[in-house]
Chains A and B, each alone.
Chain A
Amino acid sequence: MEQLFLNGILVGLLISLISLSVYPVICLVRFFHFAHAVVIAAGAYFSFLLSRCFGWPMGIAIPLAILLSAGLGCLMEVAVYKPLRKREAKPIVFILASLGLYTVLQNVISLVFGDDTKSIRTGPVREGLNFLGARITPIQIITIVTAIVVVVGLLLFMKYTRLGKAMRTVANDANLARVVGIDSDRVIMWAFAIGSGLAGLAGILMALDTDMTPTMGMRPFMMGIVAMIIGGKDSIIGIVLGALLLAFAQQYGAYYLGSEWQDAIAFAILLIFLLFRPQGFLGKKV
């Protein structure tokens, strides 16, 4: 059972990472940015392009891939969302635009790289290391450590930096933020950059563990959104707790009920929260 617990921690922290990557964006723009799912895949494919096609070392390819993912997110904001905001488009228009972006970019990845599985793993498959009776691979340890660093880093960033405070202000009330002299467009751009960079990082970690396909981003993105709703979208700690609850419910549910119930369990939890605690674990009641 140690293995099941470890799997829960690993999956939960990975969902946390994805959820936290979309957190700055959703808090500020207030619509489900579906195209974020393709940024997760793009991070993995950028690292594949740089390391496998250009032959660059992973130490250079990975940071560059994260920067390129951040750039992709900013490009979406500049080219699509900002003009729509200027025109005061309705929320449904933003959602349709983001779905359109997702479809187009996912097809671009398919066209350029093909639909077959690509790998950026550097060595052969090896047995996992024995850790308290469970098996864990080096990349899974890196994923867990990275996710913890991101959670702590994001907490500190949002609480203590000027930009973090500005993000919280814009998220609370964009008009008020404008009155006190905050350039909300600039803050939103930063939210896209940070969120997309983190999405790229999550994609790379996923690809190092389980390889990559062009559609790899959508399912984890949906789980990230569910975790955010469960945890409460205003709280980083709440999101992490939501992700862990979701992951443990899925892992133990799959073990005791059957793996075909994994998604049903996730959405059943979502429904329960929406009905009985819509603000999530630690979200503020409106």
Chain B
Amino acid sequence: MKKNRFIVIVVLLVVLVSLLVTNLVNTRKRHVGQGRIVVGAVIDLTGPIAMYGNWMKDGAELALEHWNAIDGNEDAILLVQDSQSDVKKGVSAFQYLLANNDGVPAVLIGPNSSTVLACAPLANKSKVVLFTPTASSPNISNSGEFIFRNRSSGAQEMIELARVISEKFQIKEVGFIALNNDAGIAYEQAFVSAFETRGGQVLQTELLDLGVADFRTQVFKMKNANIDAVVLGSPAKEAATVIKQAAELNYKPKWFSATPIENPTLIEIAGSFADGLVYVAETVDHNNPLFSDFAQKFMDKFGYEPNVFCANAYDGTTILLQAIVSSHGKPDQMLQYLHSLDEYNGVAGKQAFDKQGDVVKKLSVKTVKNGTFQIFTKP
């Protein structure tokens, strides 16, 4: 009996000490005013969605380089962890950043929405700002007060796409092919809701697994159901494979999609069968001098033309660095700073965060024509 009581007391003491230590870690001033600012980054640099991750990393690195080149700025470093397009590895990487380096005040994260959502409870609990310039799941909007993004929400894109399909194309029945993960399902739900409100109907939904290359059964089901218009709510590689395999099955519906489709992979895989695809996308203004200057520097450093994901990452990193400096790394003051941003003028355009940490951006309707991505003019 005495022995059991002793064990209980020891366990309680261990728990108490752990809680105290955790609290100390969470409340201490993080990495500001010690000669350098440390920003964490959990990015999918390898795996099926690595292309988006590498765009994000390049944008963030250039932002950091520019920040460090400005006289008077405290030196900043980016601690990048590869989440390997795997949610579990992303969470481990995030936990590593929280536990080491005295705890980072903010973490850039993306592009996998599921990883952002899995890390969100930890970020809220640890009072670490989680900022994504690339993840678009509508569910991120409700994932907590410490979660921010400057990538437009997939819900916003799907609502606009529903409007385009029903108003511009007068199409009332579509099929939906989504990625079988949090982002894909949320895209589908947002689209169905918006489309049905406009009197449309989603006749069939098919799901794709990330990293799989054979979607013939899903495509065949769409073909067999005589569906003439299909919305693709997936990254470019999977969408392109669907279009290619549909063409091989002599199935050529009208294809619709959103921002992630604007990726050279689409043309490489689907070839001319991608022509005519219409999509709603977040775009950058090439006439904006801020973007032109950024694009030139980006091209000089990385040797390729930056896209909206690179631009978002550049802006996101700069915003985070400014927030950390203004708030001295104090979590609540960082939130105040981010919410107080009134139309931050970045390379990707003007941005302001709403109560849920989302930005509302102007979307464009675009199309694929002769293997290039162009502004859509008329059906």
Q: At the interface, yes or no: B250 with Cβ under 8 Å from chain A?
A: yes
Residues of chain B contacted by A210 (CB below 8 angstroms):
213-214, 241
Of residues 237 through 252 on chain A, the ones whose CB sits less than 8 Å from some CB of chain B are 251
Interface size on A, residues (CB 8 A): 34
Interface size on B, residues (CB 8 A): 35
Residues of chain B contacted by A119 (CB below 8 angstroms):
268-269
Interface SS of chain B: helix
Which of A119, A259, A262, A263 has the most B CB atoms < 10 Å from its CB? A259
Closest chain A CB from B58 CB (angstroms): 13
Cross-chain contact B216 with A7 (CB below 8 angstroms): yes
Q: In the complex, A128 Cα to B217 Cα: how many Å? A: 15
Residues of chain A contacted by B51 (CB below 8 angstroms):
115-116
Which of B180, B209, B249, B271 has the most A CB atoms < 10 Å from its CB? B249
Cross-chain contact B216 with A124 (CB below 8 angstroms): no
Q: At the interface, yes or no: A11 with Cβ under 8 Å from chain B?
A: yes
Cross-chain contact A125 with B270 (CB below 8 angstroms): yes
Of residues 33 through 70 on chain B, the ones whose CB sits less than 8 Å from some CB of chain A are 45-48, 50-51
Residues of chain A contacted by B241 (CB below 8 angstroms):
210-211
Q: At the interface, yes or no: A216 with Cβ under 8 Å from chain B?
A: yes
Contacts A115-B50, A213-B211: A4 and B220 contacting too (C-beta < 8 A)? yes
Cross-chain contact B46 with A137 (CB below 8 angstroms): no
Q: At the interface, yes or no: B247 with Cβ under 8 Å from chain A?
A: yes
Q: At the interface, yes or no: B7 with Cβ under 8 Å from chain A?
A: no
Cross-chain contact A11 with B214 (CB below 8 angstroms): yes
Cross-chain contact B207 with A213 (CB below 8 angstroms): no
Residue in B closest to A137 when the chains form the complex, CB atoms: B248
Q: At the interface, yes or no: B173 with Cβ under 8 Å from chain A?
A: no
Of residues 43 through 87 on chain A, the ones whose CB sits less than 8 Å from some CB of chain B are none
Cross-chain contact A135 with B180 (CB below 8 angstroms): no
Q: At the interface, yes or no: A269 with Cβ under 8 Å from chain B?
A: no
Q: In the complex, A206 Cα to B241 Cα: how many Å? A: 13
Q: In the complex, A251 Cα to B221 Cα: how many Å? A: 11
Residue in A closest to B243 when the chains form the complex, CB atoms: A125
Contacts A119-B269, A215-B48: A128 and B213 contacting too (C-beta < 8 A)? no
Of residues 204 through 218 on chain B, the ones whose CB sits less than 8 Å from some CB of chain A are 206-209, 211-218
Closest chain A CB from B365 CB (angstroms): 25
Cross-chain contact A259 with B220 (CB below 8 angstroms): no
Q: At the interface, yes or no: B31 with Cβ under 8 Å from chain A?
A: no
Q: At the interface, yes or no: B366 with Cβ under 8 Å from chain A?
A: no
Q: At the interface, yes or no: A255 with Cβ under 8 Å from chain B?
A: yes
Q: In the complex, A255 Cα to B48 Cα: how many Å? A: 25
Residues of chain B contacted by A172 (CB below 8 angstroms):
none
Q: Which of A110, A125, A128, A206 contacts B271 (CB 8 A)?
A: A125
Cross-chain contact B220 with A125 (CB below 8 angstroms): no
Q: At the interface, yes or no: B265 with Cβ under 8 Å from chain A?
A: yes
Residue in B closest to A6 when the chains form the complex, CB atoms: B216
Using an 8 Å CB-CB cutoff, how does the interface string of A115-156 with B read, 1 for contact, 0 for none? Answer: 111010000111110000001010000000000000000000
Q: In the complex, A94 Cα to B185 Cα: how many Å? A: 40
Residues of chain A contacted by B206 (CB below 8 angstroms):
258-259
Residue in A closest to B208 when the chains form the complex, CB atoms: A259
Q: At the interface, yes or no: A235 with Cβ under 8 Å from chain B?
A: no
Q: At the interface, yes or no: B273 with Cβ under 8 Å from chain A?
A: yes
Cross-chain contact B46 with A211 (CB below 8 angstroms): no
Cross-chain contact B244 with A125 (CB below 8 angstroms): yes
Q: At the interface, yes or no: A3 with Cβ under 8 Å from chain B?
A: yes
Q: Which of A117, A206, A251, A258 contacts B265 (CB 8 A)?
A: A117
Using an 8 Å CB-CB cutoff, how does the interface string of A242-286 with B read, 1 for contact, 0 for none? Answer: 000000000100110011101100000000000000000000000
Cross-chain contact B211 with A215 (CB below 8 angstroms): yes
Which of A210, A213, A215 has the most B CB atoms < 10 Å from its CB? A210
Q: In the complex, A254 Cα to B272 Cα: how many Å? A: 28
Closest chain B CB from A79 CB (angstroms): 24
Q: At the interface, yes or no: B237 with Cβ under 8 Å from chain A?
A: yes
Residues of chain B contacted by A114 (CB below 8 angstroms):
50
Which 9 A/B pairs are nearest by Cβ-Cβ distance?
A115-B50, A210-B213, A254-B217, A128-B248, A125-B271, A135-B249, A260-B207, A124-B271, A116-B51
Known: A126-B248, A258-B207, A263-B209. 6 other contacts (CB 8 A): A3-B249, A7-B220, A135-B249, A215-B47, A260-B207, A262-B217
A binding-site residues for B, Cβ under 8 Å: 3-4, 7, 11, 107, 110, 114-117, 119, 124-128, 135, 137, 206, 210-211, 213-216, 219, 251, 254-255, 258-260, 262-263
